[in-house]
Structure 1
Amino acid sequence: MKSFDAPQFIHSAKLIREKVESFERFPFTLPVLKNLNSIEFHPKISFFIGENGTGKSTLLEALAVSCGFNAEGGTKNFTFSTRKSHSQLWKFIRLSRSFKKPKDGFFLRAECFYNVATEIERLDEGPGGPPIINSYGGVSLHEQSHGESFFALMINRFGGNGLYILDEPEAALSPTRQMAMLSRMHQLVKDGSQFIIATHSPILMAYPDSKIFSLDNGVVEEIEYEESEHYTVTRHFLNNHSSMVSQLIAD
């Protein structure tokens, strides 16, 4: 049975449909937005899953910006912008928040983490205060592999009692590191944290005390882990890999 005993910073998000001038303009052309009313989050971990193009990243970005994070990622103190490509969806999102405020927070966009690492180095070139990189393990994120820098972020920078919004955090992680991330997430949840994650990883999605929202049918639909395509396809492939590969590469 799923428990709901953890503190919750974001209860729900509602699309203010009456403010939308047209559902024929991006991002409101996305089927999931045309059908969206509200989302009730799990106090510990909520997952957004779905095929490419269903709107996971667009929705996650809007939630992050509504929470005060920089659209390209980082903490709420990051204000850099390399290219303003984020949508205006955040202006149409109304969040229901807890009276309890997170002491920590981070928005991770896998595709923009290089820019975050560059911004850290730029800020550390300026005068005053201890180097920001110390909070990330003390080693330049550019001097580590993509996967190592992701993991350094979660181990060193995520301090607990925080709101962490992660867009495809598994992108640079091996299966073993994804399992290590699952363990780290659990530690942070026990320290009072809340996660909202867009992912394709059946390993991360296996976290038991969570909600999984599928966007595949043009709606935000809560499903069970075993009902997800990620689980069923991966399981079928691993149990029948020889025959499936033969079919996939047949002339």
Structure 2
Amino acid sequence: MSAIAGSVAGMVAGARDGRIVRRVVRSRAAPLEREWPATIPAVAQVLAGGLELRRGVTLLVGENGSGKSTLVEALAMAYGLGAEGGTANLRVGTRPSESPLHDWITLERSPGAPRWGFFLRAETMHGWFTRLEAFDESGADSGLHEMSHGESFLEVLRTRFRQPGLYLLDEPEAALSFRAQVALVSVLHELGDIGAQVVCATHSPLLAALPGATILELGDHGLREVAWSELDLVTHWRAYLDEPMRYLRHVLDD
């Protein structure tokens, strides 16, 4: 086989792999272990041994401070997306607040895979809408600020989440009602069906129940794959909904 034919065959095999990014590995610029965010167990685990990303949807679940958003942000920036959300075509930001983790990792991409990507970050979407309007000469996106927070999120899902690529989502349920979260599950499922790859940080047991998704639980243990029914998140929500005062009596005055 010629070198050119071998290269083409490799690209086809990569595209058929079903993954845009195969693996996250430590780069040469990685820091000493005592430097934040390398002190976070899940981040330290990724830097030490890498992280294999599967096809379809991967959900990152864990307590605040466990490293979910830090990892998603770093993946987005290492992929070439802006720290405050959006696509590679609109990376103008405001005040830099991101961690240096994106400089410490390298994404091993599949040859021939789509290069489209989108980063949805709940806390900065308002600013992204403003920048989008400023750069959109057609006016097609001029109505996002006139919608409610949840409605604008759903509009972004409807118009931007439609093609194969890498989608990074950081706690998208923050603006969404129960029914809207169900709609988001449908969008994520459809993305997996068309060959997209999704990594989503979430506190939502509803999103975490997406059939076929890979669930990674982050915590003091680092990062490990867990079944939905075994998640601490699910256990606590079930117990709370069954008997709210079991939890609330510890925080409410008598």
Global fold match (TM > 0.5): yes
The 1:103/1:65 distance shift into structure 2, 3 A limit, reads closer
CA distance in 1, matches of 2:104, 2:128: 26
TM-score if structure 1 supplies the norm length? 0.87
Is contact 1:35-1:218 (8 Å) kept?
no
CA distance in 1, matches of 2:29, 2:116: 31
Q: Which letter does structure 1 place at the counterpart of 2:55?
A: P
The 1:227/1:118 distance shift into structure 2, 3 A limit, reads same
5+ unaligned residues in a row in structure 2: which ranges? 1-15
CA distance in 2, matches of 1:91, 1:24: 16
CA distance in 1, matches of 2:50, 2:31: 18
Deviation track 1:45-86 (CA, whole Å, cap 9, x = no partner) reads 001111101111111111111111111110110120101111
Identity fraction in percent: 38
Q: Which letter does structure 2 place at the counterpart of 1:227?
A: E
CA distance in 2, matches of 1:44, 1:23: 31
Match of 1:102 in 2: 114
Match of 2:62 in 1: 50
C-alpha RMSD of the superposition: 2.0
Is it true that 1:239 corresponds to 2:242 in the alignment? yes
CA distance in 2, matches of 1:140, 1:243: 44
- 3-state SS of paired residue (2:150): helix
Q: CA deviation at 1:217?
A: 2.3
Match of 2:71 in 1: 59
Q: 1:64-213 counterparts in 2 under 5 A?
A: 64-102=76-114, 104-124=116-136, 130-131=138-139, 133=141, 140-213=143-216
Moved more, 99-108 or 54-63: 99-108
Alignment size in residue pairs: 237
Match of 1:28 in 2: 38
5+ unaligned residues in a row in structure 1: which ranges? 134-138
Runs of 4+ in 1 over 6 A off after TM superposition: none
Q: Which letter does structure 2 place at the counterpart of 1:41?
A: L
CA distance in 2, matches of 1:92, 1:132: 37
CA distance in 2, matches of 1:46, 1:187: 14
TM-score if structure 2 supplies the norm length? 0.86
